[in-house]
Structure 1
Amino acid sequence: MVLQYQNELLALAAIFLLILIYLGIKQKNKAETDTKAAKKEEALKAEQSGQSTATPQKKIQEKKIQHSVPRHAKITKEDFKIFAGERILLAEDNLINQKVILGVLGDSGIEVVVANDGQEALDILKTDKNFLIILMDAHMPRVDGFEATRAIRHDPQTIISPSLH
């Protein structure tokens, strides 16, 4: 009976493992944030008391590091709604990855057409070229993402969205 549900059990185990990894990363990031906050507070106290621990050169480097990543708002599911009515071709052989992407884009109004490998994506593009973008996995059975992408770029009839070129 267990063999009958082997794929489902493997998928469930993979999801459980991903959740554990996510929680571990989240905990590590929280610890790093707490450590950085404590260091900043310590440096601020030292600066206020006139006992700065950092050299002027180190302060300049810290400022450069802080501003090297541009500030931005978090991307949410709502942000994808601006693409409502558009179509995406998803070439992905992993069922879990397919479900994740479909879950993220599910309520956005974006139509996602799924191909289970590169060959299936090429077959879809022979009859339907009306896609804003193609999300292509690199490593898939039959035809991988690299080969499928080369075939798409090589064939002028498969140009996806002329307005983007």
Structure 2
Amino acid sequence: MPAQNFTVNGQPVSVDAPDDMATLWVLRDKLGITGPKYGCGINVCKACTCHINGKAATVCSIPVASVRGQSITTIEGLADTAVAAGRAVDGLHIVQKVWLDMDVAQCGFCQPGQIMAAVDLLRRTRTPTDADIDAIENVCRCGTYGRVRAAIKAAAALMP
């Protein structure tokens, strides 16, 4: 098996995995990073959303060979990147802190992907509209979309 070399949450990694193995499975099964969730495997539900080079990506549908030399941030590393960028409150990314303060999660399964997508959205726009928020299209099985929308807008108001 070929060695796949990339960075995860600021740490270089080398993993023996087939080129066509989904990055999600490399993260979860080979590296033990369980924040990104498996929901569909076909880039629909977005429960696996991580950042690749700072941009939201659904890693269930990205072969690991495509991330060679790239930098991946999962929910586990989000706070560290926020601290470095001056976007942290109480050691968490502003979006994570607002999520907790506003009690957004119900079951919590989709929340890592929701948060990662929200951070990416706020990277692109500081004043997201309802349409902008709806366009991230992360599926929430519990239907907390109203709380997600409120949290993203509250986080936007706090972003430096």
Q: Whose radius of gyration is greater, 1 or 2?
A: 1
Question: Does TM, normalized by the shorter one, top 0.5?
Answer: no
TM-score normalized with structure 1 length: 0.24
Q: Whose helix fraction is larger, Structure 1's or Structure 2's?
A: 1
Q: Whose strand fraction is larger, Structure 1's or Structure 2's?
A: 2
TM-score normalized with structure 2 length: 0.24
